[in-house]
Amino acid sequence: MAESLQSQLRKHLAALTAAGVEFVPVAPPAPAGLFRSSASESAPDPDADRRRQLQVVATDAAKCDRCPALFSTRTQVVFGGGPVSPDILFLGDAPWADDDRDGQPFRGEAGALLDKILAAMGLSRAEVYLTTAIKCRPPRNRPPTADECGHCRGYLDRQLELIRPRAVCCLGETAARALLGVSGGIRTLRGQTHDHAGTPVVCTHHPQEVIQNAALKRPVWDDMLRLLKLLGRVPPAK
Ligand code: SF4
């Protein structure tokens, strides 16, 4: 491109010389601010306010002591993370030991399997929001109680309002019951599309269950295909 401009300039100067022009006046520099580079023009971030409000909710949760048994044994509150307006928000039951240590949900073996499932769906961890029904690890990874889920519900509701996922995927029975307020087991809750405040919800087995029972791989994948279909997406070819 630079050579082409140089070549054009030479030809233009040669034409001017041939026409008898002996000098070309130099233009004064443009006034400061007349031209702005595209790098200096930063478009306003339409999601900045939602991100700021999410940070406020996370800061509130970090100080929460509503569940005495969890408050006294947790290392930290695991709020969750990911982009706002994702295609999918994955909801687990509670932070596990690795999550409690790292401050992020879905670490460890179950998280590694979730990463593989996401990759098979054509997604990455960075593209989805990951959180749990309660934000503090129960001692010895026991399931959260209904009371604990109730105490934490306000944080989850605010997350859903601010994150606005196109679909929610509940991983495991506890997460499904906590979000949907139903009492059925995961085998009856999966295989259909539920609704939460206008957002479609698909329920499936928790990755930890799949680690313990390989026969669940097929039904979990069927649920992921249901999720992708809802979103108008197709999994990448293998
Ligand atoms: S689980 Fe939720 S409600 Fe209970 S102490 Fe932790 S942040 Fe608070």
Atom 8 of ligand 1 has which residue's CA nearest to it? Answer: 64
66 Cα to the center of ligand 1, angstroms: 6
Which structure tokens are listed for 124? 């990455």
Residue 160 has pLDDT above 90, yes or no: yes
Q: Which residues of 28-49 are buried (b: 16+ CB within 10 A; e: fewer)?
A: eeeeeeeeeeeeeeeeeeeeee
33 Cα to the center of ligand 1, angstroms: 52
Domain ranges, ordered by start, for the chain: 49-230
The whole-number average pLDDT for the span 116-133 is 98
User: 67 near 134, Cβ under 8 Å?
Assistant: yes
Distances from the Cα of 229 to the Cαs of 48, 160, 232, in angstroms?
30, 21, 5
Burial class (CB in 10 A: 0-12, 13-18, 19+), 152: buried
pTM score of the predicted model: 0.82
Which structure tokens are listed for 64? 């929460």
pLDDT tens profile 186-223: 999 999 999 999 999 999 999 999 999 999 999 999 99
Please give the pLDDT value at position 4.
62
What is the C-alpha to C-alpha distance for residues 175 and 132, in angstroms, rounded to an integer? 7
Query: For residue 94, which atom of ligand 1 is closest to its CA?
Result: 1
Closest-CA residue to 147 (of 46, 219, 211, 69): 69
Please give the pLDDT value at position 12.
57
Q: Which of 63, 71, 132 to mutate to test the pocket of ligand 1 (most atoms within 8 A of CB)?
A: 71
Topology (CATH level 3) of domain 49-230: Uracil-DNA Glycosylase, subunit E (3.40.470)
Percent of the chain with pLDDT over 70: 83
The whole-number average pLDDT for the span 151-166 is 98
pLDDT tens profile 40-88: 567 888 899 999 999 999 999 999 999 999 999 999 999 999 999 999 9
More confident residue, 159 or 36: 159
The whole-number average pLDDT for the span 221-231 is 97
pLDDT band of 6, cuts 50, 70, 90 = low
pLDDT tens profile 12-25: 555 545 544 555 54
Please give the pLDDT value at position 205.
98
Distances from the Cα of 90 to the Cαs of 26, 75, 207, in angstroms?
63, 23, 11
Q: Which residues of 180-211 are buried (b: 16+ CB within 10 A; e: fewer)?
A: beeeeebeebbeeebebeeebbbbbbbbbbbe
Which structure tokens are listed for 159? 């997350």
